[in-house]
């Protein structure tokens, strides 16, 4: 009897999730110009790209080059800083501290995800 109750609630939860995602998607489509204006005004799209880019880069380097995660994160943070510093010397680019911060947060977020997964695996065993 309990399994039927959980299954019913799970089905209702999925329906609610799909409805919520549909409403959000439709709202974004309707308000696209306002959202794009806000993202451009506050450079949120650029910062999100930096964050996700370095999150993915940290994952890629961690999986391809099997070295200590701390060394990977520190190296990629230094790389991020050097690229932003190098952009100050280019005429068509400008280095920004907020881009560097977004890059570093992406690296550290990956490290936190890995640490949380390792701790969870230890607790299960």
Average model confidence (pLDDT) across the chain:
83
54 and 23 assigned to the same domain = no
Look at residue 35 and tell me if it is in a domain: no
Look at residue 38 and tell me if it is in a domain: no
39: tokens are 């993202």
20 and 75 assigned to the same domain = no
60 and 90 assigned to the same domain = yes
22 and 47 assigned to the same domain = no
- The answer to whether the predicted template modeling score (pTM) of the entire model surpasses 0.75 is no
pLDDT single digits (tens) 79-103: 999 999 998 888 777 888 889 999 9
> Does pLDDT of 71 surpass 70?
yes
Distance of CA 98 to the CA centre of its chain: 15
Q: Which domain holds residue 7?
A: 1-30
Distances in Å between the alpha carbon of 15 and those of 6, 18, 25, 27, 51? 14, 5, 15, 18, 31
Pair 83, 90: CB distance under 8 Å: no
Which of these, 11, 29, 33, lies nearest to 21 by C-alpha position? 29
12 and 56 assigned to the same domain = no
């Amino acid at each position: 009897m309990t399994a039927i109750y959980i299954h019913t609630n799970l089905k209702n939860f999925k329906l609610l999730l799909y409805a919520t995602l549909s409403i959000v998607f439709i709202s974004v489509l309707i308000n696209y110009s306002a959202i794009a204006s806000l993202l451009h005004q506050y450079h949120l799209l650029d910062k999100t790209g930096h964050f996700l880019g370095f999150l993915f880069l940290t994952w890629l380097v961690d999986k391809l080059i099997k070295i200590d995660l701390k060394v990977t994160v520190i190296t990629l943070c230094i790389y991020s800083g050097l690229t932003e510093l190098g952009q100050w010397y280019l005429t068509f680019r400008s280095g920004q501290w907020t881009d560097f911060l977004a890059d570093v947060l992406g690296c550290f977020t990956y490290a936190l995800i890995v640490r949380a997964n390792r701790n969870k695996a230890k607790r299960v065993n």
